[in-house]
Structure 1
Amino acid sequence: MLKINNLTKKFNERTIIDNLSFEVENSEILTIVGPSGAGKTTLLRCISGLESFDSGEFYLDGKKFNPYEDTGSESVIGVVFQDYQLFPNLTVLDNVTLAPQMVLKQSATEAKQSALKRLSRLQLDGKENLYPYQLSGGQKQRVAIARALAMQPKILCYDEPTSALDPELRGEVSRIIKGLKQDGMTQIVVTHDMDFANDVADKQLHVVPVK
């Protein structure tokens, strides 16, 4: 379980997140919804350790940790970015296997075998030798999910996963997220798409701009 107590984040003198507390149970899907400027992405960046925070406490399975400072946080909380952030000069397979080899110290063979299984499950068979520019938006997103899963995170976060997708592909993302839940993955989804949020969420966190 992830538990966050009294999280506050400021940029200069402006408060973006003000004493926010919530928790996410294991295998649960939490959607974070709210208008633009409410701090949804900033909250996700704080959770994933990409952004520092001014005050607050994080607990994972009852143990206190700081996602910004603790080494190994990237193998605890994974992120699927809105713009995917794939390496354009690497193939799909290399995008997925690079971090496990460098950070988790997996062998090239082990990383490749795991990657091919994940790519197959995400319906990317035969795409492993392509480059990002050769993929559709939906395919890039699935590669980004495979890359995040390759780090074996306990929690997987998504930043606006349906923002650039048509309705059919939104349904595909929904199926992927629900499938990962069946595998026991805890997931946090930032989205402005209320229909999507209602479809995938076990519970929702509504955030509003701090006045």
Structure 2
Amino acid sequence: MLKIENLTKKFNERTIIDNLSFEVDDGEILTIVGPSGAGKTTLLRCISGLERVDRGQFYVDDVQFDPYLEKGQQSTIGVVFQDYQLFPNLNVLDNVILSPQLALKMPVATAKNEALDRLKRLRLDGKEQLYPYQLSGGQKQRVAIARALAMHPKILCYDEPTSALDPELRGEVRDIIKGLKRDGITQIVVTHDMTFADEVADKQLHVVALK
């Protein structure tokens, strides 16, 4: 279970998130929804350790941790970015295996075997040697998910996973997220798409813009 207590984040004395607390149970999908400027992406960046919080405590299974200090190590939190952030000079397979080799010191053979299995489950078998420019938006999204999962995170976060996709691919992303739930992976999804949020969420967190 992920528990966040009294999270506060400011930028230049402007409070973006104020004293926010919530919980996500193991295997649940939480969607974070709200208007533009409400701090959804900032909240996700705090949870995933990309931003240092001004105040607040993070717990996984009742053990306190600091996501900012843990980033780059064996991740408690993984993140799939809105723009995917794949390395353009690496093919699909190398994009997926790079981080576990560097951060987890995983042997190359182990990393490749895990990656090939994960890519097959995400319907990317046969795409291993392609480069990001050769992929569709939906394929890039799935590679980004495979790369995040390669770090064995306890919790997987998504920043607007459907925003750059054609409408027909929205259902594909929904099915992937629900499939990962069946695998027991806890997921947090930031989205402006309320219909999508309703389709995948076990619970929703509504955030509002602060004055």
> Which TM bucket (shorter chain)?
over 0.9
Quote the residue 2:202 is aligned against.
202
Q: Which consecutive segments of 4 or more residues in structure 1 shift more than 6 A?
A: none
> Aligned to 1:156, what secondary structure does the other structure show?
strand
- The alpha-carbon distance between structure 1 residues 44 and 71, as it changes in their structure 2 partners (threshold 3 A), is closer
Matching residue of 1:118: 118
Deviation string for 1:33-58 (max 9, x for gaps)? 00000000000000000000100111
Q: How far off its partner does 1:71 sit?
A: 5.8
- Corresponding residue for residue 138 of structure 1: 138
What is the TM-score when the length of structure 1 is the normalising length?
0.98
Aligned to 2:77: 77
What CA distance in whole angstroms lies between the structure 2 residues aligned with 1:38 and 1:91? 36
2:48 corresponds to? 48
Which residue of the partner structure matches residue 21 of structure 2?
21
Unaligned 5+ runs, structure 2: none
Counterpart in 1 of 2:11? 11
Gaps of 5+ in 1: none
Name the % identity: 79
The number of equivalent residue pairs is: 211
TM-score, reference length from structure 2: 0.98
Deviates more, 1:162-171 or 1:32-41: 162-171
- In structure 1, distance between residues paired with 2:98 and 2:168: 31
Distance 1:67 1:196, change over 3 A: same
Offset at residue 198 of structure 1 (A): 0.1
- Quote the residue 1:35 is aligned against: 35
1:81-129 per-position Cα deviation (integer Å, ceiling 9, x unaligned): 0000000000000000001111111111110000000000000010000
Root-mean-square deviation (CA, aligned residues, Å) is 0.9
Contact kept? 1:67, 1:73, Cα under 8 Å: no
